[in-house]
Structure 1
Amino acid sequence: MIERPTLPAALRAVGLTLVAPPAATVAIVAARALADARACPAARILAVATNESDERAALLAGADDASSGSDTTIALRARRLLAPAAAITIGSLHIDRITRTARRNGRPLSLLPREYALLDLLARHCNQTVARAQLHQALFGLRFDPGTNVLAVHVSRLRAALEREGGAPMLLTDRGRGYRLIPDHPPPVPR
């Protein structure tokens, strides 16, 4: 538990409320409790450290940010972690998160709301396999596999939209694990 009694007030001052995982989008944890925060894999983790050495250790252990500063600084860093990027570009795919639209090679993709949510989630985890369980939770609010093909149907529709007009495959299936979105062309090699 974080022993900073004025932190909730500092968070409220920037428009945030401190909640405990797994409901949290940003997990604010004591640096020594970083492993416990991984119980909520979708959360961004801000480690509250007691000194600079703890900050470095928390960042090396996988925290998205760490601070040993004032409660106001911690609150501002939490707000920054929550601010989504307005746009995501992966190869020829461009996702506008404000208008909730996507384009590939300049061509708009016709996506249903859940297909857009699936694309957005996979894009935020580009090149990483997103587990089926995590997708069921994020898209349908289910904490279990319902034993239906509803997820596979949305993946199939998204894949068809992405690959329309001969586009290179971007949405891969990692059999038995989940799905992964990759760039359609590798990044340039520095010279």
Structure 2
Amino acid sequence: MILSEIDIPRLDRAVRARGYRLEIGPPTFPPQVAAVLRRWHDGLAIDTAPVPQIAIARSRHELPAALDAGAADAVADPVDPEELAARLDARVRTHAPQPLRIGDLTIDPIDRSAKRGETRIPLVPREYALLRYLAERRGRFVTRDELLKCVWRLRFDPGTNVVAVHVSTLRAKLDRPFGTTMLRSHKGLGYCLDAG
């Protein structure tokens, strides 16, 4: 999904032709957002870490300042929607994260999928988020509290076994069919993903 602060005529069609969906709204960064179009104004600091952000400036004279502020790209309004869609596509491709590989496990952050060897592992969104979080910290134990905070986005303990249940379900999909244990747990330490 491409998120835009600005409604640009005919951009929706141009973006859809390249396989994206366009939404108009404030600049937020849920996992499905691939790039953000920002209305450029002097003093706006742009962090392109989560996704590339393209500044839409009022004139060509503002483009250098927008790029200096951290924009992945900058264009002057009015802009050709086909050109902007091409720029968006190019920025998404170059900003796209690489697959994570741990042993025979491959996690693809673009299509949010995982496979062991050539076998695709069917994951629901929360299982994928849990697996990716553990994979990014491979070889180290992650506590239940850290998982609640970073995967579930909870700032409190709900008093349930939601983490244990999801880990158990993930382990059933990730380990049992393959005979090699990658997802380990240790009482008091938490959960760890490694090559097995």
TM-score (norm 1): 0.54
Residue 102 (structure 2) aligned to one of 60, 66, 90 = 90
Determine the structure 2 residue equivalent to 1:120: 132
Distance 1:12 1:147, change over 3 A: closer
Q: Matched residues in 1 for 2:96 and 2:183: separation?
A: 22
TM-score (norm 2): 0.53
Which deviates the most, 147-156 or 132-141?
132-141
Alignment check: 8 A CA contact 2:182 2:194 kept:
yes
Alignment check: 8 A CA contact 2:113 2:121 kept:
yes
Determine the structure 1 residue equivalent to 2:166: 154
Determine the structure 2 residue equivalent to 1:55: none
> How far 1:9 sits from its partner (Å)?
4.2
SS in 1 for 2:135: helix
Equivalences for 1:1-191 in 2 at 5 Å? 9=44, 11=46, 15=53, 75=70, 85-184=97-196
Distance 1:173 1:12, change over 3 A: closer
Determine the structure 2 residue equivalent to 1:43: none
Q: Matched residues in 2 for 1:112 and 1:92: separation?
A: 20
> How far 1:102 sits from its partner (Å)?
0.3
Measured against aligned partners, the alpha-carbon deviations of 1:122-150 in whole angstroms (never above 9, x if no partner) come to 01111111121111012322112222111
Where in structure 2 are there 5+ consecutive unaligned residues?
Answer: 1-42, 55-66, 72-94
Measured against aligned partners, the alpha-carbon deviations of 1:78-124 in whole angstroms (never above 9, x if no partner) come to xxxxx563310100000111011100121010111111110010011
Q: Matched residues in 2 for 1:84 and 1:90: separation?
A: 19
**CA radius of gyration, larger in:** 2
Where in structure 1 are there 5+ consecutive unaligned residues?
Answer: 1-7, 17-71, 77-82, 185-191
Q: Matched residues in 1 for 2:132 and 2:98: separation?
A: 11
CA RMSD in angstroms comes to 3.2
Distance 1:95 1:10, change over 3 A: same
| Residue-pair matches, total | 123
